[in-house]
Structure 1
Amino acid sequence: MKPVIDIAIETEAWEAFADPALLAETVIGQTISQSGVRIADGAEISIVLCDDAFIAELNRKWRRLDKPTNVLSFPSGGPIASTPVLGDIVIAFETAAKEAAEAEKPLRDHVAHLLAHGFLHLIGYDHVADADAEAMEAMERDVLARLGIADPYAAPRAQAQK
């Protein structure tokens, strides 16, 4: 049940980000393990590392929101256990970097969270209803904790000390 992960880097800002393929393989592998999802062996996942302008255009086209966002997921649909293509995850550098700085966490940890979040969308998780959001956030916390990454929903240190 190991997916094939294809990564496209669409902006120079990501060039200095160390080994995004290894991070994606690690996070997605852990998410598969923790969620218990069954996927077809060799199912494909495309990850696009882009800038805010790129993701804003996708957000405008697919969600009718005229602004950048941190991550978008595009599930391919069909039965997850047998589909040969699970879908696409798109992550914007500027938004991810800004959020990481505001939360006082390493960019790599935040990107790991966005990868887990994006992959959970590909396998059917969502956060529209409160109960679904809680389940998704719990899964993200568990996956990241097993990778040694702090709770992504915890308040930044500066806010916690107030």
Structure 2
Amino acid sequence: MADPDRALTDVVIDDARWEAAGLTAISARAAEATLRHLDIDPSAFEIAVLGCDDTRISGLNADFRDKSQATNVLSWPSEERAAPAPGATPTPPSDMDAELGDIAISYDTCAAEALAQGKSLADHTTHLMVHGVLHLLGYDHIRDEDATLMETTEVQILGKLGIASPY
């Protein structure tokens, strides 16, 4: 059952620059917009978010993906929700799956990408958080059909938030 007093995102700030960047508010806004777009009640779910730097995310990437390099965002769904058929919509979580999973985002990589792409840090962070939440919900971009679905969904969500397509 939905708990209206529970926060959708539980943000841990490991790099103080995320505090100034407003990661807590950005994460909540992006997660809520993503779930609402998919007709999922945000008050029924929780997402843990870690705002870190390149050093921390490099270690996480090495530990969980065997890639010892920094990346912008990582996600760990609490359970597998991917659709069996390429391009199909993933199975939505049930109210029994209150914890959707965890997301880590690196300030260094995110800020560098935003600068290189001529985007505001807030808009780029919002995009990466939407991307991460979609991963928690079973969306992926490995197969072409899945990538098309995920990117289309991201663009729709970002559009509702007044953010231009990142693609």
Shorter-chain TM-score: what band? 0.7 to 0.9
1:149 aligns to what SS in structure 2? coil
TM-score (norm 1): 0.86
1:68 aligns to what SS in structure 2? coil
- TM-superposed CA distance for 1:16, in Å, is 1.6
Give the equivalent residue in structure 2 for 1:144: 158
Deviates more, 1:29-38 or 1:94-103: 29-38
- The 1:23–1:141 alpha-carbon spacing in structure 2 relative to 1, beyond 3 Å, is same
Q: Which residue of 10, 21, 36 corresponds with 1:33?
A: 36
Which amino acid is the alignment partner of residue 8 of structure 2?
A: V
> In the TM superposition, what whole-angstrom CA distance separates every residue of 1:106-161 from its partner, at most 9, and x where no partner exists?
000000000000000001101110110011000110100110001111xxxxxxxx
Which amino acid is the alignment partner of residue 17 of structure 2?
A: A
Deviates more, 1:53-62 or 1:29-38: 29-38
TM-score (norm 2): 0.84
Structure 1 unaligned segments of length 5 or more: list them. Answer: 154-162
Q: Which residue of 85, 90, 97 corresponds with 2:104?
A: 90
1:37 and 1:123 in contact (8 A); partners too:
no
1:9 and 1:49 in contact (8 A); partners too:
yes
- TM-superposed CA distance for 1:28, in Å, is 1.2
State the number of aligned residues.
151
Which amino acid is the alignment partner of residue 6 of structure 1?
A: D
Deviates more, 1:74-83 or 1:136-145: 74-83
How big is the alpha-carbon RMSD for the aligned residues of Structure 1 and Structure 2? 1.7
Question: Identity of counterpart residues, as a percentage?
Answer: 39
| Residue 157 of structure 2 is aligned to residue 110 of structure 1 | no
Moved over 3 A (4+): none
Structure 2 unaligned segments of length 5 or more: list them. Answer: 82-92
- TM-superposed CA distance for 1:33, in Å, is 1.7
- TM-superposed CA distance for 1:78, in Å, is 6.2
| Residue 9 of structure 2 is aligned to residue 5 of structure 1 | yes
The separation in 2 between residues aligned to 1:48 and 1:11, in whole angstroms, is 9
Give the equivalent residue in structure 2 for 1:52: 54
2:8 and 2:31 in contact (8 A); partners too:
no
